[in-house]
Structure 1
């Protein structure tokens, strides 16, 4: 059983109409390449706060909802899943969530991931945090979601490994090049695929890419290019060690029983000062 997924690197803007149109163009390109799931950057549809949005009153929320609906309609037409970054408005005066909409191949919003670990500026000026992980399944593969600065909190990535994800979808607007190395490390440590989607404004730092469960970069989006597509395959021989040996062993080791069962009662072990 295999599954093709695509990551994107659109420029985006503060105009939801333009962003929605660009999203749909990329969806058509990805679908033509055989992708069943298309992944977009953080805050793409609505425009990203701090960088593109200075005040939520400047956002045309009606346009955001309308464009979201059009993306969902096209998802059904193309029979693809879409994971789309956008601010999600709450009831005033509450600030929006920084979210990823998960849109099914039936054109339905099946769930939404709300960023849990927001930056200081985000939490004090722009966003309301979320509090729950989100997983969903497509054609027998399980996905989890994370957003940007959450790359600095390894417990979130370990949590998704325990929840059985095959691929972590990380949408971001990174501000330093070390971000990519952190993403690779999470994929390699947790032995799952990781799709990284960043805006074209981050091109001087990194490209959107899909990383294998061994931490290797499999594909990346070239400058002003179509989406990058990878086939997820649990039986791929190059990932046999990562998926069939390292991942189950690390899960067992994390439980601790294999070590506790081998604890010994020995004075030379208990005495930390002996030679």
Structure 2
């Protein structure tokens, strides 16, 4: 079918018509697959009740040395309800770096985070506890199944892993497994790795970036939009990466992962 024919058929079925030809074909194919299996397209069979999209911002310099220590300076969470396919709530806190408290001009220009914002912020240990309290208030891991979703591997395997060592705290249990949406997107739409950058994924899905690039909260919201579109297109987002003994591992098991319960008084400090 041509792109115009695909759009016409999707319109007839009252499905989204945005995106490149391969995306439209995949959307139509998954619709028919669900119809054949008599599964509703309203995602009532979702593996998770919620997805927490996290995209950290961290200290950086132009031309970082290989041994440069990145400290998290923005901690955002975007809460996606997988049944309504809506962003239900957001969390955002800035973080005061301790090793290099003064931000580089490059970092300020890249992230839009000013020196004043981090000077007034709490340390990472305090912010992490605040994030955990927020997740616990949402009853994630107790009443509701949830998982973490990131744009790539670095947020958890590098930034969070490194920050926990800097702050001398245990790596949080809730972040030990997650969905790397770049892998999920590439596998689902059958595209090469070089086409899984955030702005490219949005473009291929017929969407534009909304907000400021490298603002952690805005990045997280746009990643959430991609995840929602993939769910609408019939993708079963599953955990595909994890941390084990401080190392990044690929998850090959096809079974869904239920996010770890958020403890009432987490003892992160070693």
- Pairwise same-fold verdict (TM > 0.5): no
Structure number, greater radius of gyration: 1
State the TM-score, normalizing by the size of structure 1: 0.29
Asked which structure has the greater RCO (Cα within 8 Å, sep 6+), the reply is 2
- Answer 1 or 2: which has greater strand percent: 1
State the TM-score, normalizing by the size of structure 2: 0.29
